Structure formats: C-alpha cells, structure tokens
Amino acid sequence: MSSTGQSSEVRLSIPADGAYIAVPRSVVGNLAARNNFTVDAIDDLRIAVDEACSLLLPQATDGVLDCVFEIAPPQLTVRTSAVVPAGWTPDTTSFGWTVLTALVETAAVETIDGRLTITVTATAIATENL
C-alpha cells in the first residue's frame, strides 16, 4: 500500500532468463509482507509468481518478462507477461499450472497482440481468522 493508503502499482521488467526469477519472487514477498499477508500466504504467493514466470520464460520471444504488481489492500494482483509465439498458451493441465492455481484465489491467462499475460490474485487474511 502506498503511504497515502491508496492503491498502487509496481512495474518490473527482467531478462527472460531463469537466473532472474528470484527478483519478482522477492518483490512479491516484500509487497505481500507490507500488506499484512501471513507468512504462509507470502510463501504461497512467491511460489505462484515463480511458477507463472517459469511457464513464460522459455516462450518469451523478445527475451523480456514483465511483471506488474497491483496493490489494492487487502488484495494483491500480479500480472506476468511476455511476447510469445502465435497460438501458444500454457498447458493448464500441467503440474506447474496446478501448483499455481492451488496457491492463489484466482489465476487467468489472456493473450492480446501476441503478449500472453498470466494474472494471479490473492487477498490478505487477518491472522486472527486463521
């Protein structure tokens, strides 16, 4: 959340190389921690973002992976996108997709003008409700 308590957005572009996956994973962990996510929810969100990035990395034809982190407390939405070959979509029956969808509230895939976006959303739950 921004210092004004309003929604905010963080944008990140990294090389489409497995060596850089730790960067979006770290960013989402930090943002979730700052927005009252539990430790377990933070770990789940890190893994989900890692899976989204891993699905896109081998297909990123321009060598760039973009991540947009939208903070609208208590919700955190992450959009991971890359330019991919025409017609390619992730296998939604794969183990990676199954893991990703099990860890967040919603997960969706959308392709616009050759750019595929995987969007995941999670909501912070108050500790006393656990």
Q: Is residue 97 part of a domain?
A: yes
| Average pLDDT of the residues in 109-125 | 94
Q: Is residue 112 part of a domain?
A: yes
Q: How many residues does the chain have?
A: 130
Q: Is residue 89 part of a domain?
A: yes
- Tell me the pLDDT tens digit for each residue of 49-71: 999 999 999 999 999 999 999 99
Average pLDDT, the chain: 91
Q: Which residues contact 85 (CB under 8 A, 6 or more apart)?
A: 59, 61
Q: Give the pLDDT of residue 129.
A: 44
> How many domains are there within the chain?
1
For residue 37, what is the domain's CATH number?
3.30.565.10
Q: Is residue 2 part of a domain?
A: no
Q: Which domain holds residue 97?
A: 8-123
Q: Is residue 1 part of a domain?
A: no
- Tell me the pLDDT tens digit for each residue of 13-37: 999 999 999 999 999 999 999 999 9
Q: Is residue 17 part of a domain?
A: yes
Edge-first strand listing for the sheet containing 8-15: 8-15, 64-72, 75-83, 115-123, 106-112
Instruction: Tally the C-alpha atoms within 13 A of residue 65's C-alpha that lie toward its C-beta.
Output: 27
